[in-house]
Each structure stands twice: as C-alpha cells, then as structure tokens.
Chains A and B, each alone.
Chain A
Amino acid sequence: AGVVKAEDYTLPAYVDRRDVPLPEVAFVRELSAQQKALKEKEKAAWSALSTQEKVELYRIKFNETYAEMNKGTNEWKTILGGVLFFLGLTGVILIWQKHFMYGAIPHTFSEEWLSAQTKRMLDMRVNPVEGVSAQWDFDKNEWKK
C-alpha cells in the first residue's frame, strides 16, 4: 500500500524503428496457451522447430518485418492532392478579391505613363551593362532583337 501502480506508458515499450533492431520488450505481451507451449519448445534445440513455428516465434517477438516497416505508402498522393487543392482555393479567393473588392490601380500604371517612364529610364542610361538600357538599340531607336 502506498506504491503507485506503474502506468502503461512508463514501462519499456515496443517500437518498430529501423534504427532499433531489438526493442526492449517483445511485441505480444499475453501469450495464449498455444504460444506458451511454443515458447517452452523454443527452450529445446531449435533445429526441432518447423519453419512455421519459427515464423510464429518471430511474430510473437516482432510486429512488422523490416521489409513491411520500410514499405512505402500512397500517402504522397493525398498530400499532393491536398496541397494543389488549397493552392487552387487560394487562387479562387484572390481572383474574387481582385474582381469584387480591390479598387482601381494607380494612374502610374497606364500605358502612357509606363512608356514615358521607360523612355526616361533609357535617357538616363539605367543599367547599361546588363539591364534595360542594354536591351535598347540607341542608334536605331528600337529594342534590340
């Protein structure tokens, strides 16, 4: 009396992990009568065990084989589908916003303003090496091909 019962999660646990080849406890905790008999037989010579009995002993000790543990799933399809769906939903929301919510854009985006702006940038020789002035042919007064 006065001793707290050990909770399940405080005891050593079984875990299926690639880097833990021998977990702390066997997988099956309460053995049936048949399994107990098999465990007794295991104490004798192992060559007396049939293949099926050996597999049964393995399954008592382990949950999944390494092959089963490392097997891939189809989860990526769900994930990809979810991601694309929410991207599409976001796109719909953005289109709705542009159409119904936002006001007009500033007048500095009109065609006349943009061409006057570009002309001024070219006059000033903005980025003449790799940028906009490098794409303009100043002799022929047109964009370089």
Chain B
Amino acid sequence: MRRLLARRMKFHLLGAFLVSLGCATLYKFGIAEPRKRAYAEFYKNYDPMKDFQAMEAAGVLECAPPK
C-alpha cells in the first residue's frame, strides 16, 4: 500500500529501459549486421561488366539488344 506510485514507476521505468535496449540490440545483431555483411560479401568480387553482359544476353535491356 505504501509508495504505490513509486514502486510501480520504478518497475516500469526499469522495464521500459531494458525492453527498448533489448529491442535495439536485437535489431542491430539480427538485422543490421547481417545486412551489412551481405552487402560486403556481394561487392567483394563483383564484376559489373560481366553482370551487364549477362543482362544484355538475356535480352532485358531495351537499349542494348542482344546481337
């Protein structure tokens, strides 16, 4: 009965802090880091000319039709 608001506020303040920190951490290590790694991996050995020639051969480029 004593300090009803203080107790509730302490509990919820701590909880809110932990939950938001947890969400941020989960996002960083679940989504942001893998995405950064995926992009680094993709561009490590990326050859744009080879990609362009493949797309040209497939016929999807309107201004660069296949021979």
Contacts and interface: CB of A to CB of B under 8 A. Distances in A.
The yes or no verdict on A and B being binding partners is yes
Interface of A: 18-19, 21, 66, 120, 123-125, 128-130, 134, 138
Interface in B5-36: 35
Contacts, number: 24
A125 B38 contact: no
B1 A129 contact: no
A73 to B, nearest CB: 21
B3 to A, nearest CB: 12
Per DSSP, are chain B's interface residues mostly helix, strand or loop, or mixed? Answer: helix
A130 B34 CA distance: 10
Per DSSP, are chain A's interface residues mostly helix, strand or loop, or mixed? Answer: loop
Interface of B: 1, 4, 35, 38-39, 42, 51, 54-55, 58-60
Contact of B35 (A21, A128, A130): A130
Nearest to A19: B4
Contacts of A21: 1
Given A19-B4, A125-B51, A125-B55, A120 B35 contact: no
Contacts of B1: 21, 66
Contacts of A128: 42
The 3 A-B pairs with the shortest beta carbon distances in the complex, nearest first, are: A123-B58, A129-B42, A123-B60
Contacts of B54: 125, 138
